Structure formats: C-alpha cells, structure tokens
Amino acid sequence: MSKIILKNNKSLVLKNVLIRKLHCLNLDDLEGEIKDFKHSLKKHRVKTFGPLITKCYGPNVHKDGRITANYEIIIQAHDYLKYKSLFETRKSLNCGKCVYLRYSDEPEFMDFAFSKINMFITENNLNTVGVTYNAYVEQDHKNVVFEIFKPLAPNSSQQYFDSKLKKVLP
C-alpha cells in the first residue's frame, strides 16, 4: 500500500457530531486538550464511532507576538444529543470538494504529508477556505494513519479542472 494517497474533490461527511471549540490555542497545547477531550468522553461513557478529528483555522497574531490558532476537536457519537450540555452538537457536518491526503507511515515523517498536500494545492493554483481537518485513524509508536481534508474555495476546483483540460486540448 502506498504511504501517501492524494485525491482532489473528496468530501468529508460526519454524522451525530460532538465538538469542543478551542480559541487562541498554542499548538503545543493541542495534545493536552485532545487528552482532556478523550478523558471527558470516557468519564461520561460516550459511545463514539469513527476517528477523532481536529479542525484548525486561524492563525491569530497577538500584540505580544504570540501566534495561536483556533481548533475544534470533533468526534461522532451514538446518542450524541444526550451530551449537548457538555459539547456543541450537530446532526451532520459536511465539507464537499476537498483536497484529500491519506498518510500511513512512521510518525517522524508526517511533515512530508503536509508538505505534499500544500505543494499540490500551490502547483494546481487551488484556493482553500483556510481550514484543515485532520482525522486520526490509527496511531501507535511505530505507525500512524491519518487523513487531511482541505476544503476548496468556491470555483477553485472548477479552475483546477479547466487548467487540466487546457493541458490536454490543443
């Protein structure tokens, strides 16, 4: 199996969603927040399905020079409405027309995946909406499997296909 799979025009579709929003968070603090989120799910015996997903948007530049970003930690859950006092809930979350990348390899090489998807977007003159979804499918100390979804701005995918047609047609 290939270590990196890259596709265009893929959709992210989630059902029965629980969300914890984090504003102006330092990247170094994200892992701790994810652990807290997982602990809260376990404590309240939330029956989840599918991978844990983070949504990143921002960045925020503060007067003191700090750079932070806004995050959402997202999981799908059975009986999700029971937890609306603890989390934001949504019946569904749909992101159509995304550039998609699936990575399966050692954690130390993850940066190559982010570089590859960003290079694809740049080389194909695509415009994103400035949001990144990361789905953590599997993880252990030797291997990680995750997926990246970057939603495209309106008309961006059409520009991509038009440019591909121009290369094929005389």
Encode the chain (170 residues) as per-residue pLDDT tens digits: 569 999 998 999 999 999 999 988 887 898 899 999 999 999 999 999 999 999 999 888 889 988 888 999 999 999 999 999 999 999 999 998 999 999 999 988 889 999 999 999 999 999 999 999 999 999 888 899 999 999 999 877 555 555 554 554 44
Question: Per the structure, how many domains does the chain have?
Answer: 1
CA separation for the pair 107, 144 (Å, rounded): 6
Indicate the pTM of the whole model.
0.86
Could you tell me the end-to-end alpha-carbon distance of the chain, in angstroms, rounded to an integer?
36
**Domain that residue 36 falls in:** 4-168
Instruction: Give the largest Cα separation in the chain, rounded.
Output: 63
Look up the CATH number of the domain holding residue 110: 3.20.80.10
Q: Which two tokens stand for residue 131?
A: 């949001």
CA separation for the pair 107, 145 (Å, rounded): 9
CA separation for the pair 75, 1 (Å, rounded): 27
What pLDDT is attached to residue 163? 56
